[in-house]
Structure 1
């Protein structure tokens, strides 16, 4: 996996001790709230945390719940219709996950003691040889990379259209400084972006 990937704080596989401890606290609190709020005690058993698949699915469900229930704004300061997002979370996210967990954790949900034991997934011993052959059969890496012509008179800095930035804000990837200000700056990818009315685009500050 590329080292350039910026993993979400919800990706258990890549969390350190401090991040994992923080996420466990958050998830345990949220799952208990959901079990009581939606009367799911007999469908999501108390031993959910012992089941890796349940942990991953409930983490994703919690993340989607957070995104759906926090008020979002477009870059123009217009509130996103949050009731659509909340309704969609129940229909698309919540109940399908509950049904899968009720099926997968059925014996535990029935009130018996948790008998789950992780089983290592079998690895085909020919995997490495297969991969090595596949790589060897491909063209060698070119020593010269294709270059892109650059217009010396053009501003070659990155920019985002207002539509692109609105989509990022809706998804929660970008945060508007002041929702009431249509030309407010936006924080995205650890940078502050400023609106340029002449080009109707956003550019990162120097």
Structure 2
């Protein structure tokens, strides 16, 4: 994608949603970290449903350790991989208490040393909690970046590095939220809704998906 098109791409996304927010619910930086860890291979909606009652009771590492692994599992058992995630959340809570005075560090490298925290999770926390211009590449951003031609890459790190190079400074803070939301609600995995895409003319994806009405036979049956 040409530089001028990249600028226009983000201009349009920003115009449609000037202040994008994460859809994960949290009450403080610690619960944001926990929510992001729990969201791996799970939907934000599913995580929110499981954590609303949890975060009403548990909002510090100390309280999480006191709750214990079994207590945590009871809250998050509807989330995929909940056994492993519960183990990691208790371990990272213990590490926060032991190494950071119970506070979430505003440092990506320190975050990545916590159990269950990878680069994507660290990038989300750095961006949402601490206002850093990081780009957390999830499946939505990976798909949108490759499909549109914005920042093609064979793996998530290649896409992240590509986005770091092409996203204009003015749009860096909210870039990953715009791309996630665009991928989640418009540029969907199985069937992108090109007919209502605000950046359709800038996107390299072919062929464009036609509106539903154009995908019906004369007899009214939907084509496969």
TM range (shorter): under 0.3
Q: Structure 1 or 2: larger helix share?
A: 2
> What TM-score do you get using the length of structure 2 for normalisation?
0.24
The higher radius of gyration belongs to 1
